[in-house]
Structure 1
Amino acid sequence: MPTLDFWYDFASTYSYLSAMRIGRAAAACGVTVRYRPFLLGPIFAAQGWTTSPFNLLPAKGAHMWRDMERLCARARLPFRRPDPFPQNSVLAARLALVGLDEGWGERFTETVFAAEFGRGLDISSRETLGGLLRPLGLDPEDTIERALARSNKERLRIQTARAQETGIFGAPSFVTEGGELFWGDDRLDQALEWAVAELQSRR
């Protein structure tokens, strides 16, 4: 099956849209998705940015929030602007890495995005994340401690460095097996089509 890497930061608004539909869209195309949580902060910092460009450029930010309202309404997804924005997504990303190893990472990813942008919850909070882990049948304290292990922290650092080396500059981003990079939720369908076409061209 063709594969597609889904690079996302839990603080990313448009990653919410992709996370809530990529599973169904990929299954319909016969594409295997590899979830790649990472952190945009270090990538922004390398460009001299101290926060999201949506905060640095007020007009762009205002458009983004209105765009999210329209797109979520069209997709029939709940939407609530989290405060503060962007959220600190480090612990959520570390948890997702653990979950992807253990088979619950994809569900956790959807759950976190829905809590953050569907209900406006603070995903930097251990209490919030613990409440999201329990319905998955996980012990919050034990799972969070495993996510905070030095080796797992290093994994996230390496994953973020790999994203930067791949040329990723924003989220969501999608990378095909052949290295083709697509940026933005509005490019998800094209990325899936490209992944399929790549495999067919190699046959």
Structure 2
Amino acid sequence: MIRRPFFEFWYEFASPYSYLTAMRIEQAAAEAGVELVWRPFLLGPIFKAQGWGTSPFNLYPAKGRYMWRDMEREAARFGLPLYRPSLFPQNTLLAARLALLGLDKGWTPVFTQAVYAAEFGEGRDISDPQVLSGILSGLGLDPETTVHEAQSDATKGRLRRLNDEALSRGVIGAPSFFAEDGEMFWGNDRLDQALEWAATQARRSEVPL
């Protein structure tokens, strides 16, 4: 039996391109033969480290206009609905804490996809706790208990440590991917290349268990 290599998916709920990735990465990773590891984090500290107070898509209007047009093309190519949120970027702190909480319980992937579908597929405000509570209820989770646990000091500290890790490993945006050998790729358009790299590196170092 050959161990499948780990493949890390670092994503931020406010990131439009992370939406495109999150909705297709499970199948893509399975086909590549890699073990997908979900890494929800916040881009705020990343932007702050670069001297930005908001998304570069807001700081540079021409870049923002191009991004939304590119998102329209890419969403159509993947067969995904696209709604531009009335406020961009949205406050994703609670959503990130919830996604992080779900890692140990196994519901992070389906929660993540549901949040992205609500935000960019339906144009809903995911900074609203009621929206997130509705998503949790739809997954068969108790919203009050789950949100309370997500707001615990333990979960808050865990997210801070994950953000620190993102900075220390050179993450500059979302989505970002890390192969098991530490090679980093950035952007939805690099997903296939990143998966190919991860699978190729694993084949070169295969050791039967």
Task: Please indicate the TM-score interval, normalised by the length of the shorter structure.
Answer: over 0.9
Q: Distance in 1 between matches of 2:32 and 2:8?
A: 15
Q: Distance in 2 between matches of 1:167 and 1:179?
A: 11
Equivalent of residue 116 in structure 1, options 112, 119, 137: 119
Q: Distance in 1 between matches of 2:166 and 2:194?
A: 17
Q: Which residue of 2 aligns with 1:54?
A: 57
Question: Could you give the per-residue CA deviations for residues 97-119 of structure 1, whole angstroms, max 9, x where no partner exists?
Answer: 11111011110000001100001
Q: Which residue of 1 aligns with 2:107?
A: 104
| Aligned sequence identity (%) | 60
Question: Could you give the per-residue CA deviations for residues 111-140 of structure 1, whole angstroms, max 9, x where no partner exists?
Answer: 001100001111111000001101110011
Cα distance, 1:167 vs. partner?
0.5
1:142 aligns with 2:145: yes
Cα distance, 1:29 vs. partner?
1.2
4+ aligned runs moved over 2 Å, structure 1: none
Bigger proportion of residues as helix: 1
Q: Distance in 1 between matches of 2:21 and 2:35?
A: 15
Counterpart of 1:187 in 2: which secondary structure? helix
Q: Where in structure 1 are there 5+ consecutive unaligned residues?
A: none
Q: Where in structure 2 are there 5+ consecutive unaligned residues?
A: none
1:196 aligns with 2:199: yes
Equivalent of residue 73 in structure 1, options 73, 76, 90: 76
Aligned residue pairs total 203
Q: Distance in 1 between matches of 2:177 and 2:32?
A: 15
1:10 aligns with 2:13: yes
* TM-score relative to the length of structure 2: 0.96
Counterpart of 2:103 in 1: which secondary structure? helix
Cα distance, 1:94 vs. partner?
0.2
